[in-house]
Structure 1
Amino acid sequence: MSSTIFYKFLHQKVQSTIHFDGTGISVFDLKFEIIQQNHLGDGSDFNLLLYHSDQPDVEYDNDQDVIPRSSFVLARRSPSLSKHGKFNNASRYVSGKPRIQRKQLQMQSQNGSQQTGQQSDKPVDENVSEEDRIKQMFENQTNAWAQTQDELSTHKVVYNKPTTTTQAGGTVAPEDMPPPGYMCYRCGGKDHWIRNCPTNTDPNYEGKKIKRTTGIPRSHLKTISKEAAENSSSNPDSKITTNENGDLVDAQGNIYMITDSGEYVIAVADSKTWMNYQQKQTNAVNHAKHEYELKLLECVEKDGKSEFLDPLSSTKKLLRAPVVMTPCCQTKESLKKMSNFSYNQQDLEQLLIDNDFRCPNCDKDEVYLDTLIKNEELMKEMEEYMKEKEKELGIENPETASGEKRGLEGAEGGDAKRQNTALPLRPDGMPHTLPNGMPMPPFIPGMPPMPMFMPPIPPPFMPPNK
């Protein structure tokens, strides 16, 4: 059965596979397979290094080490270097043999393994009890751990470099200062690295999650007092709180953000774009109304329906509801100055106020606003005529269409994508409602929930069911 080893170069994103027979493959053979699979040549101009995937800084430096199957290793190519007068390259993996490292440490480990092997090769007495065998197993483990400690005592100790670089006065050294534009994401400071943050040693410090303004134009940002934002925890009157995500939020619900210069800002609405959008919508509706009225005017002139025209308009225009008449002029025979005795109520009232309540047709005085008569017959006739022409021409009144759209949006909550919070139907298809006339039972803590359907309360004159 074929076994596999997975590897990946440090600059690659996709891992590769090496197939071989057996339960493991040596480092030497694995390097040879990698060179052949990637067509890297004779290996004279580079050196191939393999590292552990879980410890990228630990190298497979012994060519005779065996890597178990299904393992994942990291590969890296480096320039060939001269080491001890000889060129250290990967040519031996193509045409040479694995090198043998004769180190004293390996000799000690081999001797130790031979001793343990001799001890383990001793024949086991079948008459030994189970307890003695367990005791012997623990002794062997103790001896192996002692040998490991002896080997580790010969290793060189490697000390880690301190993470902080401080001067005698306790301040950060000049060479360790962060570059301009850097910000500590733990406390928001700009004068230290996050590894040198003074709040690292404070177990009671609650970090502030401050968002960056990446991608937001400066014209949509409003600067906030930096002192108020930083002292929000110590000043309860600032009305600056922290939400469930750890962000700073003011009383209006605006989330505080920070710019590259360290200023606290909040995002504001793009009112200019919104006004432009509203203006475009208004212009589109007005244009649609104008086109609609022009088509109806053509039909009115063609059909000779002059009573549908507004007599107070300087241009030809349809009457708008509500339509009223003056008490002195209600027939075509009474027309003198005007071409129609029906007017729009708002326009006629304004005209009467400006002309001392004088009739615009016959100049009669004392035509007051409360004496105007509604011409309901003409309004009904106009409505039927407009519906008939709409069906005939295939047009639609923009005012009626927009009103129906707003009503539909209001019934849906103004947003079709908004979550439906209505109660779902029961499994049997019945809605969650109570019988008519039955009040909602009060909820008492500790009691089980009331059923959705309760039997009706019997009348006082009927005995309860037993």
Structure 2
Amino acid sequence: MIQSSKWLWEQERCMHTIFFFSPNPFSYVKKPLATPPPSYICFRCGKPGHYIKNCPTNGDSNFQSVRRLKKSTGIPRSFMVEVEDPNTKGAMLTPTGRYAIPIINAEAYARGKKEKHPFLPEEPSSSSLSSAPDYPIPEELLCFICKEIMADAVIIPCCGNSFCDECIRTTLLDSEEHTCPACHQEDVSPDTLVANKFLRQGLAWKRP
């Protein structure tokens, strides 16, 4: 009788424990924040500042959703060129929520370089191409000093900007304080310049 009473008491205690301490599954459901992080991009309109369920275009039946973009994961920021239009050919989504394309692609687009399809007609002659409009070259491919496409591109360690090797070395040596022309930091030695191999490879077509 005593053992039976003890067993009943243990069962009742266990039931109370389960009732009071059993986790409520609804308490662990994460609620979306009112304001998303700066890097979040709405999958419907392609703009930051709101979640897709709060997108201003939700009630617009004529709105066409932007295409999903590949993320630039693994590509260094210095190897990318920012663009404004998400529909730019080769555009990717960066961790900061901006759009960018690889520098090598940018210089190819700037030249209007296209891969010929075997079934397409012959390319027009050079005389007809001479009247075609020039494509603008992205500023990121131009030297900060000479304003031309960089030759033997190097990176300066103080601010991470790239210049022509000759331009930046001459500028640093001509400056009494060895001042960087971009961020104006002093005592920058030309020996600390690092070759920008990615840019050199991408812009090799520029020099004969």
Structure 2 length normalisation: TM-score? 0.34
Which structure shows the higher strand fraction?
1
| Bigger relative contact order, structure 1 or 2 (CA pairs below 8 A, ≥6 apart) | 2
Structure 1 length normalisation: TM-score? 0.17
